[in-house]
A and B are shown apart, each in its own frame.
Chain A
Amino acid sequence: GAGVSQSPSNKVTEKGKDVELRCDPISGHTALYWYRQSLGQGLEFLIYFQGNSAPDKSGLPSDRFSAERTGGSVSTLTIQRTQQEDSAVYLCASSFVAGNEQFFGPGTRLTVL
């Protein structure tokens, strides 16, 4: 596609449920990033992929958060047993190679009731 796409655009879930967020990076981009943005805040780094491997998971806030990337393309971010503090916009970005300009998707707005 022309840009980074994410789905769903909005997700409302109940506390304790699992959610899965999807990111489709720009074709050919080898690096993929997940960030979280709370209301009125800057972006918080979660995890970075180079190809299918994740050399930097340092930003994942707890073991309830996990992510995978298959085929060097699509990535999914999974949050298990969601909590209200997980409510935020989850943004995905990709770049041709790590260290280059990152292109962001529109984000998934997650609301945990």
Chain B
Amino acid sequence: GESVGLHLPTLSVQEGDNSIINCAYSNSASDYFIWYKQESGKGPQFIIDIRSNMDKRQGQRVTVLLNKTVKHLSLQIAATQPGDSAVYFCADFTGGGNKLTFGTGTQLKVEL
């Protein structure tokens, strides 16, 4: 079935470096994607979203890139900080926009 998946389960980066978290999706009809951050013991927190009519969107220290040709999106975090340590999920809207389909998640570890 359709799914959203992540390439790497764990990513370790040095504080101050840039982080890149990747995600592949399989539903060619997906037109809205969201990145969530989940800290231990908390619910997912919205980071940034992007619609399929865009290929790049920037927020504060974060950038999402969307490549519809290969059905891939990435989350870039600039100058990674210890507070960025968390699990990051990509998700897309399916079922007519009524529910999110999540990938497994990538654990980002920031080393001092």
Asked if B43 and A59 sit within 8 Å, CB to CB, the answer is no
Q: How far is the CB of B8 from chain A (nearest CB, A)?
A: 14
Q: Known contacts A41-B104, A42-B89, A42-B105: does B97 contact A91 (CB below 8 Å)? A: no
Asked if A55 and B102 sit within 8 Å, CB to CB, the answer is no
Asked if B97 and A99 sit within 8 Å, CB to CB, the answer is yes
Residue of B nearest to A44 (CB): B102
Distance, CA A50 to CA B36, complexed state (A): 23
Asked if B101 and A45 sit within 8 Å, CB to CB, the answer is yes
Contacting B at CB under 8 A, from A42-69, are: 42-45, 48, 50, 55-56, 58-59
Residues of B within 8 A of A93 (CB): 43
Residue of B nearest to A104 (CB): B43
Asked if B43 and A99 sit within 8 Å, CB to CB, the answer is no
**A103 CB–B CB distance under 8 Å:** yes
State how many residues of chain B have any CB contact under 8 Å with chain A.
24
Distance, CA A50 to CA B99, complexed state (A): 11
Interface size bracket, A side: 20 to 34
Taking a contact as CB atoms closer than 8 A, the residue among B45, B49, B98 that contacts A48 in the complex is: B98
Asked if A104 and B98 sit within 8 Å, CB to CB, the answer is no
Taking a contact as CB atoms closer than 8 A, the residue among A43, A48, A103 that contacts B89 in the complex is: A43
The list of the 10 closest CB pairs from A to B, nearest first, reads: A104-B43, A99-B97, A42-B102, A43-B102, A45-B99, A42-B104, A104-B44, A48-B98, A106-B43, A98-B98
Instruction: Enumerate chain B interface residues (CB-CB to A < 8 A).
Output: 32, 34, 36, 41-46, 49, 89, 91, 93, 95-105
Instruction: Enumerate chain A interface residues (CB-CB to B < 8 A).
Output: 4, 31, 33, 35, 41-45, 48, 50, 55-56, 58-59, 91, 93, 98-99, 101-107
16 contacts across the A-B interface (CB closer than 8 A):
A4-B43, A42-B89, A42-B104, A45-B100, A50-B98, A58-B95, A91-B44, A99-B96, A99-B97, A101-B34, A101-B46, A102-B100, A104-B43, A104-B45, A105-B43, A107-B43
